[in-house]
C-alpha cells in the first residue's frame, strides 16, 4: 500500500466510525423513548447542549488551552533556527501556513499538534525529542504533526468528543432517573413489550462504553492517517519510521499534568500496558512502523 | 409547480457549472502559487552562493574550476524563465553545489569554522525547501492536468482558459526523489 491508498482507506474508515457514532446516538435516544416514554424527549437536547458547550470551548481555544495544560512555551525563530528551518521545509511541502511553535521542557521525546484550523495551528516538541533526533527523523515528526493540522484532526476529535460526551451525559441522566423517581410512566403510551424494555435498558447502560470505544477507534484511524499524510508531504517514509523507532526504544514518558490531553501526542504518554488496545488512542507503535516500512519498499 | 421544478433544475445546473469553473480556476491559481514558491526558494539559494563561495575560497584557494562551475550555473539559473529552462539550470546548480561541498570536505579547517557550519545548515534547509517546492508544484500540476483531462471539468477548461501545465523535471534522477540532503 502506498501513502495515497493509506490516506483514502483511513479517511473512509473515519467516516464509517463517525457514522457509527451518529447511529449510536439515535439508538440511545430510541432506547430512552422506549423505556421512559416520550416525556423524556426533552432530555436529549439538554445532553447534546451540555456536551456541545463543554467541547466547543476547548475546540475553539485549543491552541491556548493546550499550552496551559501541557506547560508548553511558545518560541520564535531566533530561539531555534534549525527547528524553524525544518518546519518551514514541511510547510512548503504541504502548502500549509507556518504554525506557532512551542517547547515543552521534558526529557521524554514527544510532540503534538493542535489548533482549530491551519491558521491557528500550534505544534510543540519536548526538549527530549529535539535532542534525540536527527534532521530526517525530526522532519518526519514535524510532517506527522502538520498532517494532523492538514487533516483537521482537532475538529474530528472535537466532533467525536461531543457525541461521546452527549451519549455519556444522556445515559447518566437516564440511569439516575431510573434509581430516583421510579422512572418510566407505566400508565401512558410507553412500550409495554418486556423484551424491548430489557434491550433499551442494556443499550442505555452499554452506550457510553461503546461511544468510548468508537472515540478511541477514530483517534487511532487519525493517527494512521497522519502517518500516511506525513509521507505524502516528505515522500520519505524512512524518516518517520526511524523517528518512531526512537520513540519505541525510549521508555520514558512525558510527565503529564492531565490525561485529558493524552491523545494529542505523537506517542501516547499513557502506559501502554494498563490500557487495552481497544481503548488506546494510538495504534501500536510496532504496527505503525510496519506500515511505514511497507511504504519504503514501495518507493 | 412546473415552473418551480424547471427553475430548480436550472439553478442546480448553474451551481454545477460555477463549481466546475471555480475548481479549475482554483487549481490554476494553485499551480501559479506553487511556481512562485519555487522561484522564491531558488532566489534564496542564489543569494546564499556568493557568501558560500567566499567562505570556501578563504580556505581552499586552488579550486578555481569548482568556483567557476558554481558561478556559471548561478548566472544561468538567474536568467532562465520557462519551466524547462529553470528546471535545467536548477539541476546544474544543484550539481555544482554538491561539487563545492565535496571540495570543502578536504579542508578540515574550513569544515570546523563556525561560518561554514552556519552556511551548511542554511544550505541544507534551502536545498530541502527547493526540493519540496518542486514536489508541491508537481503535485499541483498533476491535479490541474487531471482536471483538465477528465469529465466533467474538461468540458469547462477552454471556457475557463485553463490548459495543462508543464511538470518541473530535473535532469538528475536523484533530485526527483524527495530531499535526503546529507552534505
Q: Average per-residue pLDDT in chain B?
A: 86
* HSE of A94, CA atoms in CB hemisphere, 13 A: 31
Q: What pLDDT score does A181 carry?
A: 53
The tens digit of pLDDT for each residue in B119-168 reads: 888 888 999 999 999 999 999 999 999 999 998 888 888 888 889 999 99
525530526: which residue's cell? A138
What is the mean pLDDT of the segment spanning A19-33?
A: 86
Rounded to whole angstroms, the Cα distance separating B37 from A235 reads 19
Closest CA to A1 of A284, A232, A194, A269: A232
What is the mean pLDDT of the segment spanning A192-221?
A: 86
In chain A, the percentage of residues whose pLDDT exceeds 70 is: 89
Closest CA to A65 of A103, A122, A128: A122
**Residues of chain B positioned with their CB less than 8 A from the CB of A93:** 132, 135-136, 178
The tens digit of pLDDT for each residue in B75-103 reads: 888 888 888 888 888 888 888 888 888 88
Closest CA to A223 of A184, A180, A266: A266
Chain B interface, Cβ < 8 Å to A: 34, 37, 41, 121-122, 124-125, 128-129, 132-133, 135-136, 177-180
- Domain with A133 in it: 3-298
Q: Taking CB atoms and an 8 Å limit, are B133 and A86 in contact across chains? A: no
What DSSP line would sit under B122-171, residue for residue? HHHHHHHHHHHHHHHHHHHHHHHHHHHHSTTTHHHHTTTT---------S
The tens digit of pLDDT for each residue in A271-286 reads: 555 556 677 888 888 9
3-state secondary structure of A104: strand
A145 catalytic residue (yes or no) = yes
Q: Which range among A55-59, A77-81, A233-237, B24-28 shows the weakest confidence by mean pLDDT? A: A55-59
User: Please, is A141 exposed, middle or buried when counting C-beta atoms within 10 Å of its C-beta (0-12, 13-18, 19+)?
Assistant: buried
What is the mean pLDDT of the segment spanning B49-72?
A: 85
Q: What is the pTM of this model?
A: 0.85
**Residues of chain B positioned with their CB less than 8 A from the CB of A236:** 178-180
Closest CA to B56 of B72, B45, B67: B67
Q: Average per-residue pLDDT in chain A?
A: 84
| Closest chain A CA to residue B134 | A93
Domains of chain B by residue range: 2-176
> Which entry of A77, A119, A145, A245 is annotated as an active-site residue?
A145
Numbers of helices and strands, H then E, in chain A:
10, 4
Neighbours of A1 (CB within 10 A): 13
What is the mean pLDDT of the segment spanning A58-64?
A: 79
Closest CA to A157 of A108, A194, A120, A115: A115
The tens digit of pLDDT for each residue in B97-108 reads: 888 888 888 888
Rounded to whole angstroms, the Cα distance separating A199 from A197 reads 5
Q: Taking CB atoms and an 8 Å limit, are A93 and B34 in contact across chains? A: no
What is the mean pLDDT of the segment spanning A34-45?
A: 75
Minimal Cβ distance to B132: which of A89, A135, A299: A89
Strands A100-104, A122-126: pairing kind = parallel
The residue that leads in pLDDT, B61 or A207, is A207
| Closest chain A CA to residue B36 | A92
**Residues of chain A positioned with their CB less than 8 A from the CB of B42:** none
Minimal Cβ distance to A236: which of B129, B133, B180: B180
User: Please, is B10 exposed, middle or buried when counting C-beta atoms within 10 Å of its C-beta (0-12, 13-18, 19+)?
Assistant: exposed
Q: What pLDDT score does A187 carry?
A: 47
For residue A101, the cross-strand partners are: A75, A123
Rounded to whole angstroms, the Cα distance separating A112 from A75 reads 15
Q: What pLDDT score does A258 carry?
A: 56
What is the mean pLDDT of the segment spanning A155-175?
A: 86
- Shortest distance, CA A229 to any CA of chain B (angstroms): 14
| Closest chain A CA to residue B176 | A235
Minimal Cβ distance to B121: which of A85, A88, A236: A85
- Joined together, the cell numbers standing for residue A33 give 423513548
HEC readout, B62-87: CCHHHHHHHHHHHHHHHHCCCHHHHH
**Residues of chain A positioned with their CB less than 8 A from the CB of B180:** 136, 236
Q: Could you say which DSSP state residue A106 is in?
A: -
Q: What pLDDT score does B38 carry?
A: 92
Q: What pLDDT score does A113 carry?
A: 92
Chain A interface, Cβ < 8 Å to B: 81-82, 85-86, 88-90, 92-95, 135-136, 139, 234-236, 299
Q: Taking CB atoms and an 8 Å limit, are A136 and B180 in contact across chains? A: yes
Q: What pLDDT score does B119 carry?
A: 86
Confidence label for A188 from pLDDT (cuts 50, 70 and 90):
very low
Confidence label for A259 from pLDDT (cuts 50, 70 and 90):
low
Rounded to whole angstroms, the Cα distance separating B118 from A82 reads 10
Rounded to whole angstroms, the Cα distance separating A220 from B22 reads 35
Q: Which range among A11-25, A100-114, B54-68, B116-130 shows the weakest confidence by mean pLDDT? A: B54-68
Confidence label for A201 from pLDDT (cuts 50, 70 and 90):
confident
| Closest chain A CA to residue B128 | A89
Number of structural domains in chain A = 1
In Å, what is the CA distance from B29 to each residue of A172, B19, B34, B76, B139?
A: 52, 15, 9, 27, 13
**Residues of chain B positioned with their CB less than 8 A from the CB of A139:** 128
Architecture of domain B2-176: Up-down Bundle (1.20)
**Residues of chain A positioned with their CB less than 8 A from the CB of B124:** 135
ipTM: 0.81
Rounded to whole angstroms, the Cα distance separating A88 from A142 reads 10
Select from A93, A139, A231, A237 the residue whose CB has the most chain B CBs within 10 Å, as the one to mutate to test that interface. Answer: A93
Rounded to whole angstroms, the Cα distance separating B12 from B160 reads 20
Closest CA to A6 of A266, A154, A214, A222: A222
Rounded to whole angstroms, the Cα distance separating A175 from A204 reads 8
Amino acid at each position: 500500500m502506498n501513502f495515497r491508498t493509506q490516506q483514502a482507506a483511513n479517511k473512509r474508515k473515519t467516516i464509517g466510525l463517525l457514522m457509527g457514532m451518529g447511529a449510536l446516538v439515535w439508538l440511545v435516544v430510541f432506547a430512552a423513548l422506549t423505556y421512559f416514554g416520550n416525556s423524556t424527549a426533552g432530555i436529549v437536547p439538554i445532553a447534546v447542549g451540555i456536551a456541545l458547550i463543554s467541547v466547543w470551548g476547548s475546540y475553539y481555544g485549543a491552541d491556548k488551552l493546550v499550552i496551559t495544560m501541557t506547560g508548553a512555551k511558545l518560541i520564535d525563530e531566533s530561539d531555534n533556527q534549525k527547528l524553524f528551518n525544518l518546519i518551514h521545509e514541511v510547510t512548503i511541502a504541504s502548502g500549509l501556513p507556518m504554525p506557532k511553535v512551542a517547547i515543552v521542557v521534558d526529557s521524554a521525546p514527544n510532540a503534538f499538534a493542535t489548533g482549530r484550523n491551519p491558521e491557528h495551528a500550534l505544534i510543540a516538541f519536548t526538549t527530549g525529542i529535539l535532542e534525540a533526533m536527527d534532521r530526517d527523523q525530526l522532519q518526519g515528526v514535524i510532517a506527522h504533526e502538520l498532517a494532523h493540522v492538514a487533516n483537521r484532526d482537532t475538529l474530528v476529535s472535537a466532533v467525536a468528543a461531543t457525541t461521546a460526551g452527549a451519549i455519556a451525559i444522556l445515559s447518566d441522566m437516564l440511569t439516575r432517573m431510573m434509581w430516583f423517581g421510579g422512572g418510566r410512566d407505566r400508565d401512558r403510551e410507553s412500550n409495554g413489550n418486556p423484551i424491548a424494555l430489557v434491550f433499551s435498558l442494556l443499550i442505555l447502560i452499554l452506550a457510553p462504553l461503546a461511544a468510548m470505544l468508537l472515540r478511541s477507534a477514530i483517534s487511532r484511524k487519525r493517527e494512521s492517517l497522519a502517518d500516511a499524510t506525513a509521507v505524502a508531504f516528505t515522500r520519505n517514509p524512512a524518516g518517520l519510521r526511524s523517528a518512531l523507532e526512537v520513540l519505541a526504544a525510549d521508555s520514558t514518558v512525558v510527565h503529564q499534568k492531565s490525561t485529558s490531553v493524552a491523545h494529542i501526542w505523537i506517542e501516547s504518554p499513557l502506559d501502554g500496558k494498563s490500557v487495552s488496545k481497544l481503548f488506546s488512542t494510538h495504534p501500536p507503535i510496532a504496527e505503525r512502523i510496519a506500515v511505514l516500512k511497507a511504504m519504503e519498499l514501495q518507493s | 409547480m412546473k415552473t418551480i421544478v424547471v427553475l430548480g433544475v436550472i439553478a442546480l445546473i448553474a451551481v454545477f457549472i460555477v463549481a466546475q469553473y471555480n475548481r479549475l480556476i482554483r487549481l490554476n491559481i494553485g499551480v501559479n502559487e506553487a511556481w512562485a514558491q519555487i522561484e522564491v526558494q531558488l532566489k534564496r539559494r542564489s543569494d546564499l552562493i556568493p557568501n558560500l563561495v567566499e567562505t570556501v575560497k578563504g580556505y581552499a584557494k586552488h579550486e578555481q574550476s569548482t568556483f567557476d562551475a558554481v558561478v556559471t550555473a548561478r548566472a544561468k539559473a538567474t536568467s532562465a524563465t520557462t519551466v524547462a529552462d529553470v528546471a535545467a539550470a536548477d539541476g546544474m546548480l544543484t550539481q555544482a553545489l554538491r561539487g563545492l561541498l565535496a571540495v570543502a570536505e578536504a579542508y578540515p579547517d574550513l569544515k570546523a569554522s563556525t561560518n561554514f557550519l552556519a552556511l551548511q545548515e542554511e544550505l541544507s534547509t534551502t536545498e530541502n525547501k527547493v526540493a519540496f517546492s518542486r514536489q508541491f508544484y508537481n503535485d499541483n500540476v498533476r491535479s490541474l492536468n487531471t482536471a483538465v483531462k477528465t469529465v466533467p471539468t474538461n468540458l469547462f477548461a477552454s471556457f475557463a482558459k485553463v490548459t495543462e501545465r508543464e511538470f518541473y523535471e530535473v535532469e538528475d534522477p536523484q533530485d526527483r526523489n524527495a530531499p535526503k540532503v546529507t552534505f
